[in-house]
Amino acid sequence: MLIDDLVTRGVGGEPYRMFTSRAEYRLLLREDNATARLTPLGRELGLIDDPRWARFCGWQERVAALRTALATTPAPSATLRPGATLELLLRRPEASLAGLRREGLLDGQAHPADPWVDEQTELTIKYAPYIARQHEQAERLARLEQRRLPDALDYARVSGLSHEVRERLTRQRPHSLGQAARLPGITPAAIATLEVHLRGYAATRAAEPI
């Protein structure tokens, strides 16, 4: 994305700066989940030895077991609607795993406190709706990246685009809908218009005699 950013946005005469707040899908690329994201990759590359890998797998198993317990243990009926689980209770801003243990709601012997396991479990549950939404956005962008924009496409003939959008697309000549979507000033409505036009464009080209 860095090269794409430089090509499509430019630097405007200023030093190029990267900010984590501007990273795509920053909820998926959090500092706290770096171990979970990168350890399997490090193992594939031969950078993680057997003892460290075994320790990591043990952590992951404990996270999975803790999440299962939270998802299946009923919450006190006075705190939430009937049938709610501890997982739903933990999504409240004021709730924490430490608090659940203090209240005796979580079996401390079956699931003893562990800083890394507790942090991963708690943050994953609290961020779950936002993480799911970001996964959907990432999947949509991946689909847009697969939709190539023909080099011969005349944006002046795409009805529904503003003059400014036509000008920008003509100047930058993005190679895909995904790249076009990242251009400044290109709205989701403009991308939707391009998608519709591409379907008609493909149908027209298919009907042309060879």
* 92-105 burial code (b ≥16 CB/10 A, e <16): eeebebeebbeeeb
DSSP assignment, residue 38?
Answer: H
- Structural domains in the chain, sorted by start: 2-144 (1.10.10.1800), 149-207 (1.10.150.570)
Q: Evaluate if pTM is beyond 0.75.
A: no
3-state secondary structure 82-124: CCCEHHHHHCCCCCCHHHHHHCCCCCCCCCCCCHHHHHHHHHH
Nearest-angstrom CA–CA distance, 198 and 123? 41
pLDDT, position 208:
47
185-191 long-range contacts (CB < 8 A, ≥24 apart) are 190/161, 190/162, 190/165, 191/144
pLDDT tens-digit series, residues 21-50: 666 677 888 888 999 999 999 999 999 999
Q: With 90 as the cut, is the pLDDT of residue 76 above it?
A: no
Nearest-angstrom CA–CA distance, 97 and 105? 9
Residue 173 near residue 183, CB atoms below 8 Å: no
Residue 68 near residue 55, CB atoms below 8 Å: no
